């Protein structure tokens, strides 16, 4: 994984070097570099997310993480297996990519922990953990059938943790409330996805959400969202899914990525089990690259900006391959673009041909060339999603490129 980020860094350095050489005003160059810096934060500087799980025993933390990020795995302490409470853990312990998790089992409970611990209470362990390492997001888990139980103490402790993070790390941690195990709500015999298709079950789910909304409001804890879920999934001896009753896990995964800082989004999307979430984030990435390509392409500098656009498109393909967990390098990206029927000569003819066509229309060259640069980049991005994430063949990827290219600005560019 580190090697892949090194490769992203090399491509980014090339792009930045090309921008630095452009004979344009410093203000325009600064605008381009600002956009590239945002891109660097999301890709080259990508890191593992730090997710703090808050909830009582039995709220389904392990099941939820397994449902979102992998197969039937358990997360293991980075210090010692089963050490204490409120410890940062790695998930999974034996594979890539890894997720940083803060397990807070026992929050709001008064009994002493059964495992070895360093601090006097589970809350003290948590305070120490969030002081040493900043969580990116809190997932507060509550069983659907316990939404009407007394959780005021839990929320008070959550609020205390948020304030400690704010004081020590100057970061306001977002909170997502996850109502788990909705399959256990009445009527108990209804065990079909989607669970809210049953009117009685939907009514009980809605009541649990409304109750949690009130509890958070009373505790003055801002919420990103309240999401009802079911994480139940069964595996056979070979590790294949035998029974799948997951519900709203894609929705939760999507909100989780939205809540994370820019530098933690990419590795989270890579680690997600959901292809829906991977593709949605990849489309967001394509949109970011397309906007930057359009910005650079709008500068009327014949040929000078093409190496920059090529670098941007290459980096975009590497990033999409990274999300798909495919081995992609600069050679692979060149081969992929060539397989789509796009090469340097054709690319330049497309761009310069459009400019020549509008040469006598004041100001039009700037707008159209930027649109074309964006359209080509957008098309390549959609083709990469089709090929690397959807596992379509190269002919289908070509079709995705052409359709997306036309869709972007209704430009019929035949490559």
Tell me the per-residue pLDDT of 43-55, one tens digit each, with 9 for 90 and over: 999 999 999 999 8
In this prediction, residues 392-412 reach a mean pLDDT of: 84
Which residues face 157 on adjacent strands? none
pLDDT at 327 over 90: no
Tokens (6 digits) for 106: 């026992």
Provide mean pLDDT across the span 306-328: 88
Start-to-end Cα distance in the chain: 34
The residue ranking higher by pLDDT, 175 or 335, is 175
- CA pair distance 102, 90, nearest whole angstrom: 9
Predicted confidence at residue 227, as pLDDT, reads 98
Residue 313 CA to residue 296 CA, distance in Å, equals 12
Q: pLDDT tens, 198-232? A: 999 999 999 999 999 999 999 999 999 999 999 99
Give the CA distances from residue 376 to residues 36, 155, 179, 379, 408, in Å, rounded to whole numbers and listed in that order. 19, 50, 43, 5, 9
- Please, is 30 exposed, middle or buried when counting C-beta atoms within 10 Å of its C-beta (0-12, 13-18, 19+)? exposed
This prediction's pTM: 0.85
Parallel, antiparallel or unpaired: strands 99-103 and 50-54? parallel
């Amino acid at each position: 994984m580190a090697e892949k980020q090194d490769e992203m860094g090399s491509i980014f350095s090339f792009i930045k070097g090309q921008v630095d050489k452009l004979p344009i005003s410093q203000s325009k160059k600064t605008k381009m570099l600002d956009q590239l810096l945002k891109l660097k934060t999301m890709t080259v500087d990508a890191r593992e997310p730090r997710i703090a799980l808050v909830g009582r025993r039995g709220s389904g933390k392990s099941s939820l993480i397994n449902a979102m990020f992998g197969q039937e795995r358990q997360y293991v302490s980075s210090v010692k297996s089963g050490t204490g409470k409120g410890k940062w853990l790695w998930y999974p312990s034996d594979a890539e990519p890894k997720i940083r998790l803060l397990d807070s089992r026992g929050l709001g409970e008064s009994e002493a922990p059964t495992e070895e611990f360093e601090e006097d209470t589970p809350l003290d362990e948590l305070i120490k953990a969030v002081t040493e390492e900043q969580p990116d997001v809190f997932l507060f888990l509550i069983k659907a059938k316990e939404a009407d139980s007394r959780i005021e103490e839990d929320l008070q402790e959550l609020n205390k943790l948020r304030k400690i993070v704010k004081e020590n790390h100057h970061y306001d941690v977002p909170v997502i409330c996850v109502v788990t195990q909705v399959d256990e709500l009445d009527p108990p015999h209804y065990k079909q996805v989607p669970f809210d298709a049953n009117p009685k079950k939907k009514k009980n789910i809605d009541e649990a959400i409304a109750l949690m909304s009130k509890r958070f409001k009373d505790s003055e804890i801002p919420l990103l969202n309240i999401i009802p879920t079911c994480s139940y999934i069964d595996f056979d001896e070979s590790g294949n899914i035998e029974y799948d009753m997951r519900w709203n896990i894609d929705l939760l995964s999507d909100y989780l990525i939205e809540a994370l800082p820019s530098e933690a989004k990419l590795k989270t999307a890579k680690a997600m089990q959901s292809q829906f979430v991977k593709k949605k984030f990849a489309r967001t990435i394509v949109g970011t690259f397309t906007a930057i390509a359009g910005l650079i392409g709008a500068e009327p500098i014949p040929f000078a900006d093409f190496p920059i656009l090529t670098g941007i498109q290459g980096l975009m393909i590497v990033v999409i391959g990274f999300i798909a967990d495919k081995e992609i390098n600069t050679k692979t990206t060149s081969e992929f673009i060539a397989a789509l029927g796009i090469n340097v000569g054709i690319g330049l003819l497309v761009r310069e041909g459009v400019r020549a066509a509008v040469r006598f229309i004041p100001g039009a060259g700037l707008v159209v060339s930027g649109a074309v640069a964006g359209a080509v980049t957008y098309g390549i991005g959609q083709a990469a999603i089709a090929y690397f994430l959807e596992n379509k063949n190269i002919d289908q990827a070509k079709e995705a490129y052409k359709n997306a290219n036309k869709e972007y600005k209704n430009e019929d560019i035949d490559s």
